Structures are given as C-alpha cells and as structure tokens.
C-alpha cells in the first residue's frame, strides 16, 4: 500500500469523525436552545429498531465480516517470519488466541467496535505493522 492511499484513508476517517462530532454538538445546541426558549420537549417517539448510519462507512461489521477479517489478520501474522518484535508477537498472539479455541472474545469486540471504514483499512494491507496501525484507530 502506498503512502498516498494510507494518507487518503486516514483523511477520510478523520472527516467521518469530525462529521459525527459536529452532529453531536448540533444536537446539544438544539436542546439548549429549546430549553432556553421555554419550549416543551416533544413526546418521546415510539422505540424503533436500531437504524443503520446514513454513512455506510460507519456501519458496524457483521459477525461474518469479523470472521473474514480475523482470518485475514491471522494469515498476515503467520506470514511475518522476518518481522520479530515483542510488540508484534504480542499483538498477533492476542488476535490468534482470541479468535481460536474456546476464546472468541475478539469477534464480540469486533462486532461492537469495528466499523466498515476500519475494515477497509485492515483489508488494504498484509503488513503486520500497518494492521496494528489500523487497530489503533478503532474506537473502543
């Protein structure tokens, strides 16, 4: 993966986060304005099913996508023969341990926290260091 693509992906991720933060600030300002004007809050809406985000890049991954991503990461970790460090070995070991056998906690964390934009970052490389960088940008 070249540096321009990675920089572009990081810029998109920053823009998505800034957009989400701006929406949150607007919501807070709207509530403050409503309270300041003495208006009454509207009746609560009927509960509805969890809506998918307007931006597809912010949607959560499915369990199947998390399984595919886990396999991608484990394969990259197994092919890292020339890259040895305690940090890399620890990260790869953690992912491998938490995706195999009795411990499947990685999948639950993936479904809860990894978004499609994170998935595209992971799938854009097989470099373990780059995969670790992608992992560090996941909002937990």
pLDDT digits (tens, 9 = 90+) for 88-134: 889 999 999 998 878 889 999 999 999 999 999 999 999 999 999 99
Q: For the chain, what percent of residues have pLDDT higher than 70?
A: 61
Please state, in angstroms and rounded to a whole number, the distance separating the CA atoms of residues 55 and 34.
Answer: 28
The answer to whether residue 50 is domain-embedded is no
> pLDDT averaged over the chain?
76
The answer to whether residue 31 is domain-embedded is no
Q: What range does the domain containing 93 cover? A: 57-136
0.85 cut: is pTM over it?
A: no
The answer to whether residue 49 is domain-embedded is no
How many domains, the chain? 1
The answer to whether residue 67 is domain-embedded is yes
Structure tokens at 131: 């995969």
């Amino acid at each position: 993966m070249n540096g321009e693509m990675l920089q572009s992906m990081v810029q998109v991720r920053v823009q998505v986060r800034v957009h989400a933060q701006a929406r949150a600030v607007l919501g807070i300002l709207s509530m403050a304005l409503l309270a300041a004007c003495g208006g009454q809050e509207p009746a609560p809406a009927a509960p509805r099913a969890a809506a998918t985000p307007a931006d597809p890049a912010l949607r959560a991954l499915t369990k199947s996508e998390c399984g595919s991503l886990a396999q991608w990461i484990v394969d990259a970790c197994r092919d890292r023969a020339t890259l040895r460090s305690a940090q890399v070995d620890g990260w790869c070991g953690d992912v491998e341990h938490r995706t195999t056998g009795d411990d499947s906690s990685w999948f639950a964390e993936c479904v809860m926290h990894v978004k499609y934009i994170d998935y595209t970052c992971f799938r854009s490389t097989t470099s373990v260091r780059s995969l670790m960088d992608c992992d560090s940008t996941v909002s937990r």
